[in-house]
Structure formats: C-alpha cells, structure tokens
C-alpha cells in the first residue's frame, strides 16, 4: 500500500480471532476423534471391502482422502502385502498431510480439491473451487473472476503487518534498518530471524484456508533481494526465494494461482518502507535513477525466465513487475518507457501468445486508470493494477455504516471503464480501512491522521480516538455487518481483486492484532468477512457492469503482440531525460556483461524424484545476454544515494557511463 493521500495503504496491527491455543487444542481433539474413527473404519471396512466389494466394483478411491487405494489385497496367508499407494487428492473433509508432516482436515465447501503426488510434483489437477478453473485448465482473463488475497508482509516485511519483528528493534522503520539491527544482534538470532519469520508467518495451512475461503489467487510481494544483494545492502539475500518456491508448491496443491509482485526494487521505486528503504526515490529519479532501472529490468528478466518455464507457468500466471512506482516523481512518460522495455523482456523470456509466460501487471503509478487508456494497444496479455484506498486521504467522522456503499460509486464505474479503455484491470490491493487507525499504519512515531497527531502532511484536524477502530474484540454485530457490507461493495465494484492482506501479525504490546481492517483471516474468524465471496455479486446494484470480452489479442490469441509502431515510437528505452538528474547519456549506467544469477529450482526428495525435471531456471535458452554490472573502469554512486550530487566526471572508458565518486555502497561484487 502506499501512504500518500488518495490511494495508499498502511500499517499493521495484530489480528486475533479464536484464541489460537484453544483452537489448536480443539483441533487436536477433533483430529484424534477423527483419527480414531478412521482407524475403526479401516479395521472394519477394509477387510470387508477387499473381501466382498472389490471384486465387483472399481471405484476411484483416490478421489477421497478417507481411504487409500491399494495395489494389492491384504493377505493373511503370508504373501507380502504390496505398499499402499499414497493418497494424492481429496476434497472437503479429506485429511491433508502438510509438508511439515502434520495433518489437517480440508474444509472446502465449494467443490475444490487438492492434489499432491510426490512422484509427480508438477501435476496441475488441483482446483480451488468448482467455479475456478483447475490449474491444468485455461484461466480466462476478464471472464473468470479473480478473488484473491495478498500474502503481504511475508517475504517483504512491513512494520504494520508484522509489528512484533519491528517492535523488537525500536525505531526501525523499514527492512533495511530492521536487517541491519538484526544482523548486529547475533545473540538475539541475527539476520536469520527473517528466515524464522518466513517459516512461520505463512505456511501451507494458509493456502488450504485460502482455497476454503472461496479465494482462487494470491498476490505474493517479493523483494529484489530474493535474487541477490550487492555489497553494502544489508538485506537477507536469496532466502525469500526458497520460500517463494514453497509457495508455488502449496498453491499448486490447492489449485491457487499466483500473482508474483516485485515489491522492492534497487534504489526504491517509491520511497516507502515496503520498498525496502524509506526515504529517497532513486529509481528513475536522480543520478542513479537510470542505473537502478537497468538493474531492475534484469531482475524482471530473471524472474520472467523462471516463471515462464513449463513447470511453473500455470501456477505463476501473473507478474506485477513493479509495485507502486510514483508517477508524481518519476513521470508517466518514463514509467511507460520502462513498462514497454519490461514487456519486451518478459515476452522474450516466454514468448508471445496464450500459455507463454505470465500476464504482465502494470501498476497505474497513481496516475489514475483513465490516464492509461490506450496504452500499448495489441500488447499480449497485459493488465492494469489499481490500489484503491479510502483511508489515507481526508479522514471522515462518518461511522462505518455511512461508508458501506462508497466503493460502489468510488471505483465501480472506473474499473468498468478501464476494462474497455485499457483492457484487463484488477485491484492488486484494497482493504476494509476507511481511516488510518492501526499500529504503524502511519509509520513508527508518526501518529494517525484520524487522531490528528500525524507528523507530516497536515493539518489533520482530530476526528476522534482510534480505539474503537482498533479494539476489534469489542465490535458488535452491527459493526461487523457494516464492515462486511463495505468488503462486499469493494469486491463487487472491483470485480477482479486482491485484498491487502491475508494476515496481520500480533503486536508485542497487546498480543493481538492492532490493524484489524487489514486482515482477511481475522475477519473470517470473527465474522466480518464473507465466508463466500461470491455473495458480493451485484451488491452495488450495478445494472450495467462490464461484461464484455477482451479482444483476442489481449488474451494471447490472434493478433497478440502486434503493437503498432505509432504506439511505441515515442516511448523507447532508455529515457531521454530523468527527474533530478543530468542528461541520461551522462549518467552512470551498467553494462550487461555480468554472469546471470539464475534462480534455483525446487528439489524433491521422494523416491524416484531423481528423474523429475524441475527445469534449469531459464525458459529461453537463447536469452544469453549478461546482467547489469558496473563498468570496471568507472565508479558509481551508491544505488541508494540520498541526495542530489554534482555532475560526475567523464568515465575513462568512453562508454556511456560516466564516473562518479564511490560512496558507501559499492555496486560490485555480487553475493
């Protein structure tokens, strides 16, 4: 989310619902009872089954998780009993074995089925709900509805989503500072604490719950340091990627599609804490603005090459190449140049046409949907990403009840219009917040606009106390109903959406969620989020919603990728001018001669897995250009330069790059 007025998002507080301890004890009891029943059934039924029924029928046992198919009859005559085939699929009520070895009962009232066969790990038979195409079927953009959640704050952290991480290191405001503080605290667990967070904040059980909640997509923010870091960057390098690989496996198991959202880019594309570093925008702005964009385009390429491989392309079907770049500082023309270049990079990895790599999702940069009408006509599978938030603009004293229909009028028509004027349009983020109440939603120590204590951007006249917006435990049925109505209005207005976010972690100070408006899971557990998101259909009373069909060219069909030259001739790469910087031909640039840090593929340990082809991380073998690295004879500013600097002297190589003084970050050796 962004925290500028207009659309933005926020911070976190901790969520709570049924006390987890109680819940897990109850689950254990339930599981024990069910386990006992299953044993009883197996003991009594299986012998009867094999003795009496099997010779006469041949039903497909694997469709239910309650009994396994067997490749041979049990025998009491001393003949060896062949091993039971593992159960690989199941629906509502089936027992799932999670990847940590524990089990849970799958709850999915919507006809969804999980599928997991360790000897066939790329099987895409799973289906999230009866109305969502199985992963091995075509998802029809614009026709099949996206009902999704973000897994925000997991692989890219944010103070308000996992406050406890930040509360341990008071004063840290972004992952840069958090990482540095953790690394200095070896006694407290060091930088490895981030991996502990990856391990625990989102697990396989969340994916099972998401499918059971009627949701069919997850948007997963990942940072560039999932790929690598450069010297001087304090982030935990490469580790997040291994958890993203787990997410692919879990999504595949439950039939959920992934929108991979590149959330944090070198130099920061928006200056917000969730970009990795709060402060200056050094992406397409300032002296290192071009170099940072070059480096970012290579990260986009590396990701696109991975997710376009046949093993992954039907799970990671959407790629948000850059989260929330700020047009007000970068300029829309340069963002368009960058978007076109990224389009070429992504399509080069997977090819053009349906099935060849992801739909490319472009954030609107806060320029407004209508300013993207007509962008890249004929482009193959592109989408516009909108993040509508009511909560960061002017605060209102209206109660929740007065807000329930606002999303309909605020966004319904705009989304509808954009589907025609631009093409596929989805809301990559929205929440239930109508004000900025919530721990760290406004930043460490900044206060809240609602309470009139926010430090910057005012004046913010005090509206009231945030307490009643934060203390969700005291919400009554009316309040919960009103929040649910607001959520349903939002879903109907947005049509294709990803709630921000699935989970908010507990605050250390209260032991509970302190930003309840931002947690889908908390709302489900406590009765203010819909148990069936289809109940949103039509609540806005929209008698004329967009019901068209996207042109074939926009969904990978005939004409896909035929962008008229007139639409691209004025937005070539690189830009001809960059905000707060010298002529781009005089700016530091990188050269594409570095070794490619290909992303690793998952490994499998099941017997027979040696023959499994997980790919080599690179879809297009003819894409052999190296990646952006410094020109050896030139020196550079830090990619994270904080302020304007004097024009650099000429680079001795005579390359386009010019030398500038070295600073604390040396963008050279890769880690």
Ligand X SMILES: *[C@@H]1O[C@H](CO)[C@@H](O)[C@H](O)[C@H]1NC(C)=O
Residues in contact with ligand X by CB under 6 A are 1-3, 8-11, 14-16, 19-20, 125, 134, 136-137, 158-159, 173, 271-274, 278, 280-281, 285-286, 329, 413, 416-417, 420, 441-444, 446, 503, 505-506, 511-512, 542, 544, 546, 579-580, 641, 643-644
CA dist 137 to 16, 96, 118, 140, 255, Å? Answer: 37, 23, 21, 9, 11
Which residue, 159 or 428, is less far from ligand X as judged by CB?
Answer: 159
Q: Which of 656, 661, 408 lies closest to 542, judged by CA?
A: 408
**What secondary structure letter does DSSP report for 30?**
H
3-state secondary structure of 427: strand
Q: How far apart are CA 633 and CA 631, in angstroms?
A: 6
Which residue, 166 or 306, is less far from ligand X as judged by CB?
Answer: 166
Which residue, 308 or 442, is less far from ligand X as judged by CB?
Answer: 442
Least gap, CB of 420 to ligand X (angstroms): 4
Q: Which of 345, 397, 340, 387 lies closest to 363, judged by CA?
A: 387
Q: Which of 152, 16, 158 lies closest to 443, judged by CA?
A: 158
Residue with tokens 């023959």: 611
Least gap, CB of 436 to ligand X (angstroms): 7
Least gap, CB of 418 to ligand X (angstroms): 9
Could you tell me if 398 and 475 are in contact, meaning their C-beta atoms sit under 8 angstroms apart?
Answer: no
Least gap, CB of 459 to ligand X (angstroms): 18
Whether omega before 574 lies within 30 degrees of 0, making that bond cis, reads yes
Catalytic entry in 177, 204, 324, 514: 324
Which residue, 345 or 539, is less far from ligand X as judged by CB?
Answer: 539
Which residue, 125 or 316, is less far from ligand X as judged by CB?
Answer: 125
Q: How far apart are CA 233 and CA 256, in angstroms?
A: 33
Least gap, CB of 349 to ligand X (angstroms): 24
CA dist 322 to 105, 176, 297, 339, Å? Answer: 37, 19, 10, 9
Catalytic entry in 429, 451, 514, 642: 429
CA dist 72 to 46, 76, 87, 88, Å? Answer: 12, 12, 15, 18
User: 216 — phi, psi (to 5°)?
Assistant: -125, 0
Indicate if 429 belongs to the active site: yes
Least gap, CB of 617 to ligand X (angstroms): 25
Could you tell me if 26 and 524 are in contact, meaning their C-beta atoms sit under 8 angstroms apart?
Answer: no
Which residue, 481 or 537, is less far from ligand X as judged by CB?
Answer: 537
Least gap, CB of 365 to ligand X (angstroms): 13
Could you tell me if 124 and 252 are in contact, meaning their C-beta atoms sit under 8 angstroms apart?
Answer: yes
> How many degrees, rounded to 5, is the angle at CA 492 between CA 489 and CA 493?
80
User: For the chain, first and last CA: distance in Å?
Assistant: 30
**What secondary structure letter does DSSP report for 533?**
G
CA 85 to chain centre: 35
Least gap, CB of 89 to ligand X (angstroms): 8
Residue with tokens 């697990």: 203
Which residue, 169 or 546, is less far from ligand X as judged by CB?
Answer: 546
Q: Which residues does 438 contact at the CB level (< 8 Å), separation at least 6?
A: 10, 11, 12, 13, 160, 448, 466, 469, 470, 514, 515, 516, 517, 518
Which residue, 70 or 579, is less far from ligand X as judged by CB?
Answer: 579
Which residue, 248 or 302, is less far from ligand X as judged by CB?
Answer: 248
**What secondary structure letter does DSSP report for 214?**
T
Least gap, CB of 178 to ligand X (angstroms): 11
The catalytic residues are: 324, 429
């Amino acid at each position: 989310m962004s925290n500028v007025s207009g659309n933005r998002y926020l911070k976190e507080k901790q969520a709570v619902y049924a006390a987890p301890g109680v819940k897990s004890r109850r689950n254990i009891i339930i599981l024990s009872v069910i386990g006992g029943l299953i044993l009883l059934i197996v003991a009594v039924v299986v012998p009867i089954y094999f003795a009496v029924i099997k010779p006469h029928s041949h039903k497909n046992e694997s469709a239910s998780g309650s009994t396994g198919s067997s490749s041979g009859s049990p025998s009491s005559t001393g003949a060896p009993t062949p091993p039971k085939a593992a159960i690989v699929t199941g629906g509502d009520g089936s027992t799932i074995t999670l990847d940590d070895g524990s089990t849970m009962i799958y709850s999915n009232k919507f006809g969804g089925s999980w599928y997991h066969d360790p000897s066939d790990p790329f099987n895409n038979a799973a289906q999230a709900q009866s109305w969502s195409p199985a992963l091995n079927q075509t998802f029809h953009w614009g026709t099949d509805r996206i009902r999704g959640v973000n897994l925000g704050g997991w692989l890219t952290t944010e103070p308000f989503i996992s406050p406890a991480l930040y509360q341990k290191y008071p004063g840290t405001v972004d992952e840069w500072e958090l990482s540095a503080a953790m690394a200095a605290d070896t006694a407290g667990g060091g930088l490895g604490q981030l991996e502990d967070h990856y391990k625990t904040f989102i697990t396989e059980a969340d994916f099972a719950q998401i499918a059971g909640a009627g949701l069919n997509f997850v948007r997963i923010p990942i940072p560039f340091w999932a790929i690598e870091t450069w010297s001087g960057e304090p982030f935990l390098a490469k580790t997040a990627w291994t958890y993203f690989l787990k997410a692919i496996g879990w999504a595949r198991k439950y039939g959920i599609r992934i929108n991979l959202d590149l959330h944090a880019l070198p130099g920061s594309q928006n200056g917000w804490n969730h970009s990795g570093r709060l402060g200056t925008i050094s992406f397409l702005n300032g002296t290192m603005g071009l170099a940072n964009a070059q480096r970012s385009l290579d990260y986009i390429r590396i990701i696109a090459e991975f997710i376009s491989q046949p093993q992954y392309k039907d799970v990671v079907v959407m790629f948000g190449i850059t989260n929330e770049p700020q047009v007000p500082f970068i300029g829309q023309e340069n963002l368009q140049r960058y978007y076109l270049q990224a389009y070429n990079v992504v399509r080069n990895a997977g090819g053009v046409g349906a099935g060849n790599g992801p739909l490319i999702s472009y954030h609107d940069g806060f320029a407004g949907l209508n300013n993207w009408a007509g962008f890249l006509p004929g482009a193959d599978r592109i989408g516009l990403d909108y993040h509508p938030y009511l909560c960061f603009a002017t605060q209102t004293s209206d109660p929740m009840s007065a807000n329930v229909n606002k999303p309909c009028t605020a966004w319904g028509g705009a989304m509808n219009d954009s589907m025609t004027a631009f093409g596929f349009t989805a809301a990559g983020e929205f929440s239930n917040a109508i004000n900025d109440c919530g721990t760290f939603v406004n930043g460490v120590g900044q206060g809240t606009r609602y309470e009139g204590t926010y430090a910057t951007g005012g004046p913010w006249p005090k509206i009231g106390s945030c307490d009643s917006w934060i203390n969700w435990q005291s919400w009554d049925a009316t309040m919960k109903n009103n929040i649910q109505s607001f959520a349903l209005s939002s879903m109907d207005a947005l049509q294709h959406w990803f709630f921000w976010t699935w989970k908010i972690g507990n605050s250390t100070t209260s032991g509970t969620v302190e930003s309840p408006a931002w947690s889908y899971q908390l709302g489900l557990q406590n009765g203010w989020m819909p148990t069936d998101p289809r109940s949103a259909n039509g609540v806005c009373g929209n008698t004329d919603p967009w019901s068209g069909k996207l042109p074939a060219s926009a969904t990978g069909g005939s004409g896909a990728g035929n962008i008229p030259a007139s639409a691209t001739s004025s937005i070539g790469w690189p830009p001809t001018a960059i905000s707060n910087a010298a002529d781009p031909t005089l700016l530091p640039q990188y050269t594409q001669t570095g070794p490619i840090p290909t992303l690793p593929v998952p490994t499998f340990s099941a017997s027979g897995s040696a023959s499994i082809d997980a790919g080599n991380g690179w879809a297009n073998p003819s894409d052999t250009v190296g990646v952006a690295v410094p020109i050896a004879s030139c020196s550079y500013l830090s990619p994270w330069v904080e302020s304007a600097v004097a024009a650099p002297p000429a680079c001795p190589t005579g390359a386009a790059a010019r030398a500038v003084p070295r600073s604390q970050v040396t963008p050279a050796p890769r880690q």
